[in-house]
Amino acid sequence: MSRISKNVILVLLTLTSSAFLLFQLYYYKHYLSTKNGSGLSKYKGSQIGFDRTQWRAVKKFIMLTSSQNVPVFLIDPLILELINKNFEQVKNTSHASSTSECKFFCVPRDFTTFALQYQLWKNEEGWFRIAENMGFQCLKIESKDPRLDWIDSLSGTEIPLHYICKLASHAIHLVVFHERSGNYLWHGHLRLKGHIDRKFIPFQKLQFGRYPGAFDRPELQQITVDGLDVLIPKDPMHFLEEIPHSRFIECRYKEARAFFQQYLDDNTVEAMTFQKHAKELLQLAAKTLKKLGVRFWLSSGTCLGWYRQCSIIPYSKDVDLGIFIQDYKSDIISAFQDAGLPLKHKFGKVKDSLELSFQGKDDVKLDIFFFYEETDHMWNGGTQAKTGKKFKYLFPKFTLCWTEFVDTKFRVPCETVEYIEANYGKTWKIPIKTWDWKRSPPNVWPNGVWPISEWDEVIQLY
């Protein structure tokens, strides 16, 4: 009987201890974690322990770059998004108060991504050696400088594009930004060469380097995050919005050289004067539309000149831009007039076949075509002023990338060949000086006639 009583007592004690332990766990999860500020984001922060691999790797990297005056700034999309959601709170966080929890740099991930502007880096090789002495395993990715491809003697010169520095199981991805002519920053494609160990890190998870990218030059500010002083873009949201639309296409300098070997460049005074005025007009148009916040791209003959010969076609006599109709703004006309470009004609209307033309210097005009999207294609319209006839130019659907043209950053269709072939056919590589906009393009179709009652609205000549 005494043995049974002892067993019952032992079972009761075990059940009581288990219940008390469960209560402690419930109390910690539902009370203490909330009290400690888990409301910052969907990622619950954790107490900073110096065995935290991610935080420790980031801290060591920041110590390294600070001691060597390497001007790095944080561009990690996940962390910038968390910071942006709590921007005011983060800005007002003191260094001492931010060391109690790890809410940003301890979010589970394989990498933390930083960037630097290469022209500000003074001691690249020394930094690399010190990083390895501090325990980092570093990988340097280089490739040829595309800015020198136009110059035969310098073509092939290599520049650093990316660094991957791993400490234990966490890696720092350092994206190297290079300054380009249009006052913007460019990074290159992370292309793995034959000797590189593909298992060094999971490269496919990197968020920068799948393709070259172009970004506005960010203004930076210093903040304290998880007890670490870091530089970030002053407008994190703008930088985050740029990332998915940052893909960059380089001008095809090799093909352009071959083109001019076959078809001699026009170096007459008339041609060079036109190209100079066309360049100025394009740069003014880019400045005006950027101020309005309107997306646009190089279209028609201007796009062909960029892709085929990396220059303005000297016999085209105008410059062409495309704009999606959903990006139309009612003050576009007044903005160009304020910039010194009077309206030459306005054809169509916002709902159908809108086209604007502005007068530049020395009879060089700027044509802006508005594009409309259908289920399986896009199109822009044309209007014959004398007859009211309407035309439609069909294009396969396309997305937009960045490029550099006439020392300026412009958008172009990413699917460039398909776009050009739609407009100029398979023989687009052959220059054609005689061109009828109503008959020559293979993608032009009749689209009816404007009712005479609408002519005052849809056919305006100045």
Mind listing the pLDDT tens digit for each residue in 389-429?
A: 999 999 999 999 999 999 999 999 999 999 999 999 999 99
- For residue 143, pLDDT beyond 80: yes
- First CA to last CA across the chain, in angstroms? 113
DSSP state of 213: E
- CA 36 from centroid of its chain's CA atoms: 37
More confident residue, 36 or 189: 189
> What distance in Å separates the CA atoms of residue 133 and residue 109, rounded to the nearest whole number?
25
Asked if residues 300 and 369 have their Cβ atoms less than 8 Å apart, the reply is yes
Return the pLDDT at 196. 77
> What distance in Å separates the CA atoms of residue 176 and residue 344, rounded to the nearest whole number?
45
- For 232-244, what is each residue's pLDDT tens digit? 999 999 999 999 9
Q: What is the mean pLDDT of residues 443-459?
A: 97
CA distances from 121 to 71, 115, 177 (A): 7, 11, 11
Confidence of residue 41 (pLDDT cuts 50, 70, 90): very low
Determine which helix (DSSP H) or strand (DSSP E) holds 381, and give its type and residue range.
strand 378-383
Q: What share of the chain is helix, strand, coil (3-state, %, to 5)?
A: 35, 30, 35
DSSP state of 43: S
Return the pLDDT at 356. 98
- Look over the chain and give the mean of its residue pLDDT values, rounded to a whole number: 87
SS (HEC) of the chain: CHHHHHHHHHHHHHHHHHHHHHHHHHHHHHHHHHHCCHHHCCCCCECCCCCCHHHHHHHHHHHHHHHCCCCEEECCHHHHHHHHHCHHHHHCCCCCHHHCCECCCCCCCCEEEEEEEHHHCCCHHHHHHHHHHCCCEEEEEEEECHHHCCCCCCCCCEEEEEEEEEECCEEEEEEEEEEECCCEEEECCCCCCCCCCCCCCCHHHCCCCCCCEEEECCCEEEEEECCEEEEEECCHHHHHHHHHHCEECCCCHHHHHHHHHHCCCCCCHHHHHHHHHHHHHHHHHHHHHHHHCCCCEECHHHHHHHHHHCCCCCCCCEEEEEEEHHHCCCCHHHHHHHCCCCEEEEEEECCEEEEEEEECHHHCEEEEEEEEECCCCEEEEEECCCCCEEEEEEECCCCEEEEEECCEEEEEECCHHHHHHHHHCCCCCCCCCCCCCCCCCCCEEEEEECCHHHHHHHEEEC
Strand segments, DSSP code E, in 100-210 are: 111-117, 137-144, 158-167, 170-180, 184-187
Return the pLDDT at 35. 36
In the block, tokens 């110590």 appear at 63
Return the pLDDT at 30. 42
Half-sphere exposure for 262 (CA within 13 Å, toward CB): 11
Strand segments, DSSP code E, in 181-317 are: 184-187, 213-216, 220-225, 228-233, 297-298
Q: What is the mean pLDDT of residues 431-449?
A: 96
Q: What is the mean pLDDT of residues 29-35?
A: 37
More confident residue, 188 or 101: 188
Return the pLDDT at 149. 77
Return the pLDDT at 96. 55
Confidence of residue 78 (pLDDT cuts 50, 70, 90): very high
- For 273-301, what is each residue's pLDDT tens digit? 999 999 999 999 999 999 999 999 999 99
Q: What 3-state DSSP class applies to 251?
A: coil
Give me 27's structure tokens.
Answer: 């109390």
Four-point Cα dihedral 329, 333, 335, 336, nearest 10:
130
Q: Which amino acid is at 40?
A: L
- For residue 432, pLDDT beyond 50: yes
